[in-house]
């Protein structure tokens, strides 16, 4: 669409002064601004929460406790009635951060999660955290066997079966090396799946909302139609509030599921 830009981004290349113009080194300033705005809002919410928890008689104290209890109940369902403290902090922080990013539409700003860099960064944080916890839970050898599969069961040792046992070890070694790229791709597929799901849905909602805004700004009667028909509120509620909650929940529940599988099952239990 020539001459029609939905998103007005501002870019800065700090290396352009040295004659380096590679797009990889370009920084999207509005993305940096909205991300830091989210961090500032979360800092304010944290300070308010800290104040509310120190005043048990306030309504905010009850509200914060209810929110925390919902996260506890959600995590206990994945960890068989237990709520590991470090997982509680990780999962609740992830959900709240993504939700705040998604709800920036309500302030008339573009959501950081509509940029694939943010969605990919969140997916990588989730992935490497899960790998770290899996390594700590199972140990190095069991963790390594997740990437180097040995499909053949080694026979019980006996001198008669020694040639067979050697052959089985060799075939397992060949299979482990051959299957390693596939196992690595299967692990990293979760990163692509989670990042594209979050990015695609939030970007689609942002595009619809921006198109509608661009249409209503053309003439006064479109603005009147949008206001009186309630379409403005419907679009804002669905693509801003509802979709923001859904995508935050989907990303968080996938992270929780992968994390629970990585820390509650043994290497033999996994497919």
pLDDT band of 267, cuts 50, 70, 90: very low
- Whether the per-residue pLDDT at 104 is higher than 80: the answer is yes
**Distances from the Cα of 79 to the Cα of 75, 88, 115, angstroms:** 6, 11, 32
Higher pLDDT, 174 or 58: 58
pLDDT tens for each residue of 215-241: 777 776 667 776 666 677 777 777 778
Distance CA 208, CA 212 (A): 6
Helix, strand or coil, per DSSP, at residue 27: strand
The H-assigned helical ranges of 79-161 are 85-102, 116-138, 140-145
Distance CA 130, CA 94 (A): 13
């Amino acid at each position: 669409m020539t001459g029609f830009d939905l998103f007005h981004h501002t870019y800065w290349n700090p290396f352009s002064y040295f004659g380096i113009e590679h797009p990889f080194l370009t920084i999207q300033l509005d993305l940096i601004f909205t991300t830091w705005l989210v961090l500032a809002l979360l800092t304010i919410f944290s300070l308010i929460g800290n104040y509310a928890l120190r005043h048990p008689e306030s309504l905010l104290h009850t509200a914060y406790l209810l929110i925390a209890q919902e996260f506890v109940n959600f995590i206990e369902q994945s960890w068989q009635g237990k709520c590991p403290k470090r997982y509680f902090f990780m999962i609740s922080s992830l959900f709240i951060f993504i939700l705040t990013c998604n709800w920036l539409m309500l302030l008339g700003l573009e959501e950081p999660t509509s940029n694939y860099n943010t969605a990919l960064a969140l997916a990588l944080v989730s992935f490497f955290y899960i790998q770290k916890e899996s390594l700590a839970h199972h140990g190095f050898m069991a963790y390594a066997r997740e990437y180097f599969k040995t499909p053949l069961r080694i026979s019980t040792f006996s001198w008669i079966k020694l040639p067979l046992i050697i052959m089985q070890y060799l075939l397992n070694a060949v299979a482990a090396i051959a299957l390693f790229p596939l196992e690595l791709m299967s692990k990293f597929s979760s990163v692509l799946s989670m990042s594209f799901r979050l990015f695609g849905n939030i970007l689609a909602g942002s595009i619809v909302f921006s198109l509608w805004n661009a249409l209503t700004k053309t003439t006064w009667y479109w603005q009147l139609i949008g206001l009186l028909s309630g379409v403005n509120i419907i679009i804002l509620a669905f693509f801003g509030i509802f979709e923001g909650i859904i995508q935050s929940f989907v990303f968080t529940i996938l992270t929780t599921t992968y994390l629970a599988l990585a820390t509650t099952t043994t290497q033999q239990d996994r497919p």
